[in-house]
Amino acid sequence: SQQGEEDPQALSIQEGENATMNCSYKTSINNLQWYRQNSGRGLVHLILIRSNEREKHSGRLRVTLDTSKKSSSLLITASRAADTASYFCATVLGNQFYFGTGTSLTVIP
Amino acid sequence: EAGVAQSPRYKIIEKRQSVAFWCNPISGHATLYWYQQILGQGPKLLIQFQNNGVVDDSQLPKDRFSAERLKGVDSTLKIQPAKLEDSAVYLCASSLMAGPYEQYFGPGTRLTVT
């Protein structure tokens, strides 16, 4: 299966700390995307990194991609209580989107 | 810009009953997706439309699930008859076109089958 797998499954940190979550996948990709899902809501796109890129930044988000290891990481710096959500990676090849199993992040105020 | 709209937000039905979900994508978005998200899991693609044509329905349980996108805008997803294992959130998403582009998601419909 192409589906990515995130780890850890759950992460709990104090406000102000950094949060890192990882995504591993199995086959080739065109790009990899990260999404956030607040409880009871739909997914919101955070950042897209192409297969020929190694690192990308957006505000407090930093994404890395290592295609040789078939893995990506999402770093959220200076976390806030509002960052509490589930985070999913999506591997994309052509028209195919495969979402991972998600990391549940809790930021304690 | 209005987002992706879905209705209803919640639905409770008994097994073997039928149910339908509605989705209105962002205006101008050619591609529409239906996902099934079981509690604690990531979304699983059920069907993808490009305008009113089906691009991918390989994971749609066609014996009980059907979907259509008339006139290339709104879409409906139907389940008939429902099973207990269909309990999930059904998410609709749209993107400007098919391919490796970001998707915009609606709030989802939470279905409970008893």
Which pair of tokens denotes residue A98? 């495969």
| For chain A, percent of residues with pLDDT exceeding 90 | 83
pLDDT by residue (tens digit) across B24-81? 999 999 999 999 999 989 999 999 999 889 999 999 999 999 999 988 899 999 999 9
What does the DSSP assignment read for A42-103?
-EEEEEEEETT-SEEEETTEEEEEETTTTEEEEEE-S--GGG-EEEEEEEEETTEEEE---E
With contacts defined as CB-CB under 8 Å, which chain B residues touch A93? 100
Determine whether the interchain pair B105/A101 forms a contact, defined as Cβ–Cβ distance below 8 Å: no
φ, ψ (nearest 5 deg) of residue A13: -135, 165
With contacts defined as CB-CB under 8 Å, which chain B residues touch A44? 105
Q: What is the span of the domain harbouring residue A66? A: 5-108
pLDDT band at B99 (very low <50, low <70, confident <90, very high): confident
| For chain A, percent of residues with pLDDT exceeding 70 | 97
Least CB–CB distance from B99: residue in A40, A95, A101: A95
The CATH number of whichever domain residue A69 belongs to comes to: 2.60.40.10
Q: What structural domains and CATH numbers belong to chain B?
A: 5-113 (2.60.40.10)
Q: How many domains does chain A have?
A: 1
Determine whether the interchain pair A97/B103 forms a contact, defined as Cβ–Cβ distance below 8 Å: yes
> Nearest CA to A38 among A73, A8, A81, A6?
A81
Mean pLDDT of A38-50: 93
pLDDT band at B90 (very low <50, low <70, confident <90, very high): very high
φ, ψ (nearest 5 deg) of residue B71: 60, 15
What confidence score (pLDDT) does residue B1 get? 62
